[in-house]
Copies of this chain bind each other. A is one copy, B any other.
Amino acid sequence: MTYSVQVKVMPLKELLDPQGKAVMGGLSNMGLSAVQDVRVGKSITLQIDADSENAARQIAEDAAKKLLANPVMEYFEISVN
């Protein structure tokens, strides 16, 4: 079966996120001052052929650790639909 697996890769909370800061500046300039903080990461959708949901999640975790996320700067979350 093919599972659609969502991997969210975000900058670590301890680190500055210059892209997020830039977006926040842009939003302030446009009058959207209700936005207090912005963080920008990646959202990656994988279509994975696997026997079970758990197997698909395992493959996605493998992919995230080896290629999708840089653990020095980023953390990731996986959800399977």
Interface of A is mostly: strand
Interface residues on A, range: 20 to 34
A59 within 8 A of B: yes
Known: A30-B66, A34-B49, A59-B35. A23 touches B44 (CB 8 A): yes
CB distance from A66 to the nearest CB of B (A): 6
State whether B10 touches A35 (Cβ < 8 A). no
In angstroms, Cα B50 to Cα A73, docked, is 30
| CB neighbours of A9 from chain B (8 A) | 43
Interface string of A42-74 (1 = CB under 8 A from B): 111111111000001001001100111000000
Residue in A23, A37, A45 with the greatest tally of chain B CB atoms within 10 Å? A45
